[in-house]
Amino acid sequence: MALLETTDVWKRFYGLDVLRGVSLHVHPGEVVGLIGPNGSGKTTLFNCITGQYSVDAGRVVFKGRDITGYSPHRVCGLGVTRTFQMVQVYPGLSVRDNLLVALQEHQERSVLARVLRVARVREAEARARDRAAALLEEFALVRLADQPAGVLSYGQRKLLEFASALMAEPELILLDEPAAAVNPTMIERMKEHVRRIHARGKAFLIIEHNMSVVMDICERVVVLDHGEKIAEGVPAEIQRDPQVLQAYFGR
């Protein structure tokens, strides 16, 4: 059974059909690429999956549960996290707190227990701090742990955002252009991170324009154009698909 499945998803903005019946699926532990020219609806589809947008028609199913119309925090609670094309962090919070926020709502949630700091909460916080320390290590952010995220460079923010998306041990991670606007060394590091985390059994759905990255890390690729799925297959096939070439380069 697919981990994530969208069925005939439609999204309309002011009379413009941005998504026109998109169906795709991601299997557990699979790395799927989502490509297409600018404005083809890739990020819109992410927003429909995570609940930021409500869909006009169609269904989104995660782990057999219909999550269409769920609010973002509920979708996240089920095990889907994401990064953003416009990298998002909490600028005024320390790097460590940025990570801690990303896990705490998946643990105990009683307000009174939290304010009174009962044993259960202290244990959860200790576990969260251990996990944050491990991720700081893994993403080479230890030195910056106590700095406010607002002082980080673009690349560092991107690493922090990626690490935050892993805090809650999600089963599916949506990456929106992980290799955009970063230097070649950083692109290699991003690829390594995806491979390593994939090896731990996590599934990815990745929007990316950098074709060498897509070819390197994706097992399967879905191509959108003008809100429609025009092709799907292993990277090597997609590269030769006449419809894809037409969408990207014209005739």
Partner 1 sequence: MRPAARASAVLVAAVVAAPVMLGAEYLLRVLILAGIFVVLAISYDLIVGQVGSLSLAHPAFYGVGAYTTGILTTRYGLDPLPTFLVAAALGAVTAVVVGIPSFRLRDRSFAIGTLGMAWVLQLVANNWIGLTRGPMCITGVPPLMIMLPGGVELTTIFPRTGYVLIVVIAIATYLIAWAINSSRVGRAFHAIRENELLAEMQGVNSLFYKMLALGIGAAIAAVAGGYYATYSSVVCPSEMAMMYTITLLIIVYLGGAGSLRGVTVAAVVFVVLPEVLRVAAAARLFVYGGLLLGAAIYLPGGVEALINRVERAWPGRSATPRSGR
* Cα–Cα distances in angstroms (integers) from residue 12 to residues 44, 57, 66, 227, in the given order: 10, 9, 21, 10
47 φ, ψ to 5°? -65, -30
Report d(CA 184, CA 122) in Å as an integer: 41
Q: Does 198 bind partner 1 (CB under 8 A)?
A: no
Q: Does 130 bind partner 1 (CB under 8 A)?
A: no
Q: Which CB, 19 or 89, lies closer to partner 1?
A: 89
Q: Edge-to-edge strand order for the sheet containing 16-26?
A: 16-26, 4-13, 57-62, 65-66
State the minimum distance, in angstroms, from the CB of residue 173 to partner 1.
12
Q: Which CB, 4 or 167, lies closer to partner 1?
A: 167
Report d(CA 220, CA 197) in Å as an integer: 17
Q: Does 120 bind partner 1 (CB under 8 A)?
A: no
Q: What would the two tokens of residue 49 be?
A: 């999956």
Interface residue with partner 1, options 21, 28, 58, 148 (CB under 8 A) = 148
Residues in 18-57 that interact with partner 1 by CB under 8 A? 50, 52
Q: Which CB, 1 or 116, lies closer to partner 1?
A: 116
Q: Which CB, 74 or 195, lies closer to partner 1?
A: 74
What number of CA atoms fall less than 13 Å from residue 196's CA on the CB side? 12
Interface residue with partner 1, options 82, 131, 158, 193 (CB under 8 A) = 82
* Cα–Cα distances in angstroms (integers) from residue 196 to residues 31, 161, 189, 190, in the given order: 12, 17, 10, 10
Indicate the SS3 state at residue 169.
Answer: coil
State the minimum distance, in angstroms, from the CB of residue 146 to partner 1.
6
Binding site for partner 1 (CB under 8 A): 50, 52, 71-73, 76-77, 81-82, 84, 88-94, 97, 100-102, 104-106, 111, 114-117, 121, 125, 146-148, 164, 167-168
